[in-house]
A and B are shown apart, each in its own frame.
Chain A
Amino acid sequence: MANPPSPSIEPIASCVEQGTLYALAIDVRRGIAYFGGSERSVRSWRLNDEPVRSELAWHGRGAYVSSLVLAHDEPHGPVVITGHYDGSLTWHEPATGRVLMSVESAHHGWVRDLALSGDGRRLVSVGNDMLVRCWDRATGTLQQTFAGHAAETPEGYVSTLYSVAISPDGRCAASADRAGEVRVWDLERGSLVAQWRSAEFYTFDPEKRDRSMGGIRRVRFSPDGSTLAVAGIGQITNVDGFVGPARVELWDWRAVKRRSLLGDSHNAVLNDVVFTANGQHVVAGGGGDSGGVLLSWQLGKEKPVQKVKLKGHIHRLAWATGDRLLTAGFEAVQLWSSAAVLATEESQA
């Protein structure tokens, strides 16, 4: 198995940051990454500049920045939208940090995740109120609210709606929660089009710890829109930590049929997952009790073709130009060559 980290694989560049970064987006045209998290501010990194350094883009609202998306508003330029743990959404002009607009109570409780349609017109959000909301990205007007994710897991523990994604055609949104419930919504018709439970992602211990763990931490559509990847952690042996196998399931969401399971024996929760542009590889990042991990799979193979262990947990992944991959997480943002990340078993040998 091609599991041991090869010493040749190093990130191209990395910035040491404070706290944990939960949010990340890249202005690919200008080569600038924006990220934020527990420090409550948003920082930026000009990926092509030397020396490597990040700088403060703007001070936030005093709440964790949980998610961040970037749209291009022709002819004005880029707009960055951030979601926060105080339930708000804000629109920024990234060059100056100026707040263009805000929605104070987008959700009751924390905003957990945001996604933007390919055309940049629709913004979807999920929050601790277990709702999926669809907004007019340009005006901040609420267009739809989708309810259905339960506030408690079937076993009576608090659930969380962790993630939302928009299909490449911009028509559907997928959302997933702690109990392993996945729902796909039709944004135009305002209806539920698919629903299932991937219960393997959720562990509870009613006896010793009286607590639950796990959950689907991220959903993503494949480039052709036919497949939905859901990522998290498999069954946990000890709910005190992330002691369970890293897990990604690929679903034919229209047929509600699981296409494949991408697993690994490595104990980690996968906090984010992305497809490569050709749809042939899946890369996921997260971490376990022994540190962070980055895994890549070739479709059709259950075992990962590459595994990189690193110090900090990864919370977000994003593609930069030149097929480079950016990761953000605990005390770091790192840039990787995708050739390294996607190295096949053969090429490593």
Chain B
Amino acid sequence: MRWSLNTMAIGFAVLAASALVSADDKPLRAVIDDQVRAVWEKEKLTPARPATDAEFLRRVYLDLCGSVPTYDETVSFLADATADKRATLIDRLLDDPRFAQHQADIWDMILFGRNPPGFDTDKREGIQRWLREQFAKNTPYDALALAILRAEGNTLDDGPPMFYVQYRNQPEDVNEAISQIFLGVQLQCARCHDHPYETWKQTDFFGMAAFLARLEVVTVGKANNLTKYAIGEKNSGDILFTGPAKDQSPGKKGEPLKPKFLLGAALDEPPLPKDFKEVKFEANKPPPPPKFSRKDQLAAWITQPDNPYFARAIANRVWAQFLGRGLVHPVDNMSPANQPSHPDLLAALATALRDHRFDLRWYIRELVNSQTYQLSSIGGSGEQNPQLYIAARTRPLSAEELVEAWRITTGYAAVETTSPPKGVATGRFRPLESGYMLRFFGQPNSGTGDFQGGLQEHLYLNNGPLRNLLTTAKGSLLATVSDTSLPIDARVERLYLALLHRPPRDVERQRMSEYVSVASAKSDERWAEAMWVLMTCSEFRFNH
């Protein structure tokens, strides 16, 4: 069966129906909780208890800002008796500059992954800076996506063209990426053959790729030893369609295929003038725009508010960012064969997001204020992403989050001097080397998104330079806990509150006190060992 016009019509109908849902002024967070709860009741499931303040504090800090609270923040939040302290904290974190940094980090991974295909994409500060700016000023998502897809300017001064640069001159690869990221659909099977169980035909794949067939990466300059690239678009050139991959033979010439929107109409394209001569892009000059841009037509179609895929895709993707499992899971595989777990909820989220002009900060605020988000992670059967949201998800910290969490909790960030000692790494991961951190912690998951961890990560944790974080400068955690003028109990409490953002249980209090109070000339060594244990344990390694 084809999900063509029929299903599109249904899609619009769903959007229209759910528009009614959001019209009754119920906040989206309540819509979420109602619909999730309705499924639990139907399935007779018991959800986990709500997260404690301590659990919530660390989780939301990491999810919004990619960091953890300081000891002082923790103590003050836990002691705060006001009823809306969680909502207040959320508002504060959404305005924190680290929110923009963290969302930019996440989108950098969505657009490039840890190991992009090449062509200088390992040095992409331009687009990273640009993403940070967009999240800082809360650019609406449709505008953000449009800018990436139009790719104007160059990779260094502007940023967005870098997305296309990684797929240099491969319209099929760009098409796969765009479809997954912005439309939430997987077209790659249709690259080689008509899929027996899916909607898309090969001509759908190449019809979309045809929009991108005229793009060319142009070198337009250099600055600071980096090359500036821009995306040029020719006025002519077509994608040649040669049929199923299994019927390919060398020298087989394909048919030119005209651009066609996914399961939609063919592009209405003005003819080129008869005496037209194709331009040749010159090095170090911005490429002139084409007379008619196919790329811009595609960008406009993808990001228009009534695109049947666009709003659903982003609503689902950001949902999964905070709740673990997408309502359609995986988030980039929306298809008739992969139905949402909560169809009405997804429709309501998509509609609400569209109605709020793709305001991601508003949307995220609703998500993390929901009771669903604020469940404890304890109570499922131990999966990374518990079924039907009966408990909060557990996820590994990214390399960036992990280092930031170490820097904050040890007090390194608070006491570091502006000029680090000789031989100590500078940069975002200081005092650790970004190369090792990214190598050992950059991709902790398998291809299906499940955490695995690995030997190398633990060799680094066990034998690596974590000791560099354990500064003894006044104000650092190690200096504080090994200060014998304080009672041992207070110091153990401090250790747990600083590193794990919760007070120790009695048994922990006792065991830890025993460990550190062995009479020894170098008692701070015992404390350093205790810190290492808490810095490398599962409770620290994961957001839960």
Are A and B close enough to touch in the complex, i.e. CB under 8 Å? no
